[in-house]
Amino acid sequence: MKVTKFTVNPFGENTFIAWDENTRQAIIIDPGMMQDHEREVVVKFVEDNQLKMQQVLLTHGHIDHIAAARWMADRYGITVAASPHDQMYYQMLPMQAQHFRLRIELDELTIDCPLHEGDVIELGDEKIHVFETPGHSQGGLIFYAPDSALAFTGDTIFEGSIGRTDLSGGDYNVLIASIRDKVLTLPSDTMLIPGHGPTTTVANERDYNPYLA
């Protein structure tokens, strides 16, 4: 699996395109683009690499991760897949924009494919496993690709930090349990690819993350 990162919007959110080199099948994870020029960069990458977009995947429902989800789905005729437990955030997408005083207009987001613990998404020969990791939000998800030894962790865990839990639906103890049960149990060399900031590894976070001491 090949992965390319685009850091977008005022929140410095990481949007990812993952694709299979042989089939050119691709998914986009957390499309948070809020400006035309950000969307144009992503579209140009898709076209330049002749990718066949298959699905939009969302790790959770905060606006910085989902702002362009329906836009991408409509452009490529694909579905949006995410946890139904963040339904409140999808419905409140216009209110999220107002709350953060963003000068963008967004409609409520409808999820086409509900994702749950144990679901498997196929991308070429790769199988991507869905883990539920509530705590940052009630519907937090991680997408784990064991053959490539990587996991897209959204805002569950960052290098040396964890997702904030002071927003509606957040719970510190639940988040720590999610990380211990779903992240730290992955192989030590698994690359963790978060929704903000640089990549890290399971071993690094197990040994050095101050929130997990």
Separation between Cα atoms, residue 157 and residue 183, nearest integer Å: 9
Helix (H, G, I), strand (E, B) or coil at 105: coil
Span 61-71, mean pLDDT?
Answer: 98
Kindly report the CATH number assigned to the domain that includes residue 78.
Answer: 3.60.15.10
Checking DSSP bridges between strand 141-145 and strand 150-154, what pairing results, if any? antiparallel
Share of the chain above pLDDT 70, in %: 100
Q: What is the pLDDT of residue 159?
A: 98
pLDDT tens for residues 157-171? 999 999 999 988 999
Decide: pTM greater than 0.85: yes
Q: What is the pLDDT of residue 43?
A: 98
Task: Characterize 88-115 residue by residue with b for buried, 16 or more Cβ atoms within 10 angstroms of its Cβ, and e for exposed.
Answer: ebbebbeebbeeeebeeebeebebeeeb
Tokens of 57: 């995947």
pLDDT tens for residues 130-147? 999 999 999 999 999 999
Q: What is the pLDDT of residue 213?
A: 87
pLDDT tens for residues 172-207? 999 999 999 999 999 999 999 999 999 999 999 999
Please check the confidence at residue 212 and state whether its pLDDT lies above 90: yes
pLDDT tens for residues 45-65? 999 999 999 999 999 999 999
Residues spanned by the domain of 137: 2-212
H or E element that contains 173: helix 172-178
DSSP single-letter state for residue 152: E
Task: Characterize 65-75 residue by residue with b for buried, 16 or more Cβ atoms within 10 angstroms of its Cβ, and e for exposed.
Answer: bbbbbbebbee
CA quadruple 195, 134, 212, 11: dihedral positive or negative? Answer: positive
Span 76-96, mean pLDDT?
Answer: 97
The structural domain count of the chain equals: 1
Q: What is the pLDDT of residue 107?
A: 96
Q: Where are the alpha helices (DSSP H) in 33-137?
A: 36-48, 63-66, 69-76, 87-91, 93-99
Q: Which of 113, 125, 133 is nearest to 192 (CA)?
A: 133
